[in-house]
Every structure is written in structure tokens, then in C-alpha cells.
Amino acid sequence: MVAQAAGIVIIVFLLARLIPGDAVDVKGLEGDLTTFQQIALRHELGLDRPIPEQMAAWSWHALQGDFGQSIRFGRPVSGMLATAVPVTLLFTGLSFAFGLLLAGGIAIGAVTTGSGTLRALVDLFNVWSIALPTFCVGVVGILVFSIWLHWLPVIGSMILPVIIIGIDSAGLIVKPLYEELREAATSAHVRTARAKGLSRWRVTLRHLLPTAVPVTLALSGLVLTSLVAGTLTLEVLFGLPGIGSLMLNAIQGRDYPVIQATIVVVAVTLVVVNAATDLLHRLIDPRMSP
């Protein structure tokens, strides 16, 4: 985890500086600074120092929780993150919970009832997650529900993006979960439980659901990884004031401290989530232990 986090910091720092121009150039193009003022400001911000020196200074302060000041807005980056992170966490949490409940309900219902409609939904959601980019679905959703039907506002509503990301997440989970449950339904202990006269739902709750926990946990790590990309793009599309919007504005303004802080926070969070998911999976399923 430490090696991955360090690699992310280095790559992000270097890639940010490959973008043509910097925040001082942007201010100059906006007509706010003369040439001499640009040179003085670039020296004041340390942008004229060697990149390794800039990286070492930024990393040292970041390890202490100080991500510096926004070059464009003159505000502490930590304060900007404190405003944006709760929005992204709420959006991600609601989307993941909706997707997990939707996938679990469809997969369990399809195995328990044998319904052809539910089995078709399993395949439909799976194809949806593979074939339809969430950003394109979001554009269509705005066109239909906001512009044509006037049911939802174009900007600021979290209802439609949560549904879109939730369905996409459900599509990643539902097929493997259904296959795992279907295989478990043919095992000896489940057949014995049915022979004893237990109801379908009792067999599901007592014998099938415990089987589904490890595979659901394993899939959750993958889903959360893809969830982040989807939530960040839809934040921008629907005008939600989260990490995605903050990151895009920083890139457009070449605001290096904000770019680095947002990407590093997201990436390190994913590293921690994946590691925690893997650890929980090994604790729940002893077969995963070396």
C-alpha cells in the first residue's frame, strides 16, 4: 500500500506538470497579470524551482496534512477538500448501496423462484454495465427526465445519477452473484434442507446467503473502483459540488496543489479500500488464505 501510494504521488505530480501552461499562465491569459508580475508570482509560488525539489516540498507538507494553497483561488486546499469530499462520499455510498440491493434482490429472486423474467434481468443488467457508458446514459437521462419531462432539475439533483451509477454497479455484481447462488443451490446441504421441508426463503436465508457473502465482498472491491470513475464524471455532468467537479476546475485552471490533492486522495482511498476488501475476504473465506 505504501509503495502504491508513493507511486501514485510521483506519477500525478509529473503528469500535472505535463499539461501545457500553469496557473500563472492562465491568469496571464485572463489579463490579470503583466509579464513581470507573472515572473514574480511564479518565483513566489516556487514554480520555477526544479521539479524534484517541488515534489519533495509538496510531499513533506502533504504527509502532515497540509496540501497547500490553491494557486487560483488563494484558499487552503484542505478546506476545499473538506467541502467536496462529503458530497462524493454521499453520492458513492448511495449509489453502491442501491446497486448492491438491486443486484442482490434480482439474483436471489432468480435463484429462489426460478423466474424467467428475473433471469432475463440478470443478463440485461450485466450487458448494460458492459455496453453503456455511464456518462452517455447521464446525458440521455438529462435529455429525457430534465428537458423533455421536466421531472428533475438539470443541475444539482442526485436522484438520477445515483440511479444510473447504481444500475451500472448492479450489472457488475448480479451475474457472478447469480451464478454463485445457482451453483450453491445444487449443493448437498441445500438439497438436504429442502428435503426436510424448509421453505424456499428459509433455505435462501440460512443456506444460500452465507455462500454469497464472500463473492459479494470480492466483487465489491472491483465495483468501488469503477464506481469512483463513474461518480466523478457524473458529478461534473450533473453539477454536483464533489471531488470530480473540483478536480475538473483545477485542471482547467492548472491549479497544481488542487489537482495533486484531489487525485492523490481518490487514488490512495482506492488503495486502502481494495486492501481492506481483500483482508475481509480472506478473513471470511479461509480458502483465500495462503
Q: For residues 72 and 143, is the Cβ–Cβ distance under 8 A?
A: no
Q: For residues 99 and 165, is the Cβ–Cβ distance under 8 A?
A: yes
Q: What is the pLDDT of residue 124?
A: 93
Give φ, ψ of 125 to 5 degrees.
-65, -35
Number of helices (H) and strands (E) in the chain: give both, helices first: 13, 0
Instruction: Find the distance separating the first CA and the last CA of the chain, reported in whole Å.
Output: 19
The rounded distance, in Å, linking the Cα atoms of 119 and 211 is 19
| DSSP letter assigned to residue 28 | H
Q: What is the pLDDT of residue 225?
A: 74
Q: What is the pLDDT of residue 141?
A: 94
pLDDT along the chain (290 residues), means of 10: 78 79 71 75 79 84 83 86 92 92 90 86 91 91 93 90 93 89 75 69 71 75 76 90 90 84 84 79 62
Q: For residues 164 and 134, is the Cβ–Cβ distance under 8 A?
A: yes
pTM over 0.75: yes
Give φ, ψ of 145 to 5 degrees.
-85, -25
Domain layout of the chain by residue ranges: 2-63, 78-288
Q: What is the pLDDT of residue 279?
A: 80
Q: What is the pLDDT of residue 287?
A: 57
Q: For residues 175 and 275, is the Cβ–Cβ distance under 8 A?
A: no
Give φ, ψ of 269 to 5 degrees.
-60, -40
Q: Which CATH architecture has domain 78-288?
A: Orthogonal Bundle (1.10)
- Closest C-alpha to 226, from 177, 139, 165: 165
Q: What is the pLDDT of residue 24?
A: 75
DSSP helix/strand/coil, 76: strand
Q: For residues 284 and 49, is the Cβ–Cβ distance under 8 A?
A: no
Q: What is the pLDDT of residue 147?
A: 92
Q: What is the pLDDT of residue 194?
A: 67
